[in-house]
Amino acid sequence: MGKSLPPKLIIGLGKFAWTTMWNVMMSNLAPRSQEGAYIRPESQFRQEVSDADASFPPAPQRYRLYVGLGCPWAHRTLVVRALKGLQDVIDVVVVQPLATTGGWVFASEHQGCKSLADLYRLAQPGYEGRSTVPVLWDTQTQKIVNNESAEIIVMLNAAFNHWAEYPDLDLYPDPLRPCIDQWNEKIYPAVNNGVYRCGFAQTQAAYDQACTELFQTLDELDATLATRRYLCGDQVTLADVRLFPTLFRFDVVYYGLFKCNRRRIQDYPHLGFYLRDLYQLPGVAETCNLEAVKESYYGSLFPLNPGGIIPAGPDLTSLTAPHAREHLGQVPQQSI
């Protein structure tokens, strides 16, 4: 009586309790393989807005994007919407992350729904899968057309050209598609999803593999961008759009919170200036919300940041500085 427990016992009990709870929370947040590697679930809604599809024909003000401003997958849809000039064609509704449930919610009730999960069930009664952003929604049929960002940006690039402010901007041109597709196949597992494979790894071996692949690919990207303004030459494409949201979040979130700390993007000789170049494209900066990014990751990913403390920085004014990349990549590239 009156004596405290020995520090060694306190530490041991605390470590056991936290590790047990962490494993339970991570199993729901980040499905894993037997080796402890993060496995991203597949998107469930994969239909298309197309002239060839009578169910979802192109039309202005018919479709809506549901996005979270902190989410990189949703961010890429906002970038294409801005570059194509579709602000008056496709509305956007922003959802907020809710740390207590790990889901997305509306600021106020929307279409009778309080959360994005409610919206998914409105579209498909009885739905019990993951409720993720972005969502391309058909306001006429009250259905989800698609919730796979890689497919949504292809639709935004081509399906709404009749009403787009910049219809001649083709982010997925036929001559460059082999190059774009090759980069996408390389960047998605190693970089876009690679940062999550680092942050959500549940064993040291899984983390080491993901981290090695991530920085090997960043090194390759940096070397490529020494001679090309964009990944496929002097024209911005969907390959750049898919890479940009990850680079924008890298030094802010992934470097520290996700343990991707071998090197910052701004420390690379070319990637940092390339990030500036993309950030300064017309309309892109307006899609970037640093505070929402920090809130989404530091405030909502409780297993990775139990204290919920959100860092004060960094200062993004460097992204508006000259990038001096205008002279690069004058000859389009057909492959990587």
Q: Is residue 11 part of a domain?
A: no
The residue-averaged pLDDT of 25-31 equals 64
* Rounded distance between C-alpha atoms, residue 242 and residue 278, angstroms: 11
Q: Residue written as tokens 């520090």?
A: 7
Catalytic residue among 166, 172, 188, 196: 196
Q: Are 323 and 273 in contact (CB under 8 A)?
A: yes
- Residue 303 belongs to domain spanning: 174-320
288, part of any domain: yes
What are the pLDDT digits (tens) for 107-143? 999 999 999 999 999 999 999 999 999 999 999 999 9
Q: Are 204 and 112 in contact (CB under 8 A)?
A: no
Residue 189 domain flag: yes
Is 71 among the residues known to form the active site? yes
Which residues, other chains included, contact 6 with Cβ-Cβ below 8 Å and sequence gap of 6+? none
Q: Are strands 113-115 and 135-138 parallel, antiparallel or unpaired?
A: unpaired
Q: What is the largest CA-CA distance in the chain?
A: 80
pLDDT of 200 reads: 92
**CATH number for the domain including 284?**
1.20.1050.10
Is 225 among the domain residues?
A: yes
| Digit-coded pLDDT (tens) for 144-186 | 999 999 999 999 999 999 999 999 999 999 999 999 999 999 9
Instruction: Please state the φ and ψ torsions of residue 125, each to the nearest 5 degrees.
Output: -55, 135
39 inside domain: no
SS3 171: coil
Total tally of structural domains belonging to the chain: 1
pLDDT average, residue stretch 187-215: 96
**Residue 63 annotated in active site:** no
Task: Report the pLDDT value the prediction gives residue 16, as an integer from 0 to 100.
Answer: 66
* Structural domain includes residue 235: yes
**pLDDT, average across residues 235-258:** 97
Catalytic annotation, pick one of 38, 71, 179, 198: 71
Sorting pLDDT into bands at 50, 70 and 90, what band is 262? very high
pLDDT of residue 3: 61
pLDDT of residue 194: 97
Model pLDDT for residues 298-322, shown as the tens digit of each residue: 998 888 898 899 999 888 899 999 9
Q: Is residue 81 part of a domain?
A: no
Instruction: Determine, yes or no, domain membership for 236.
Output: yes
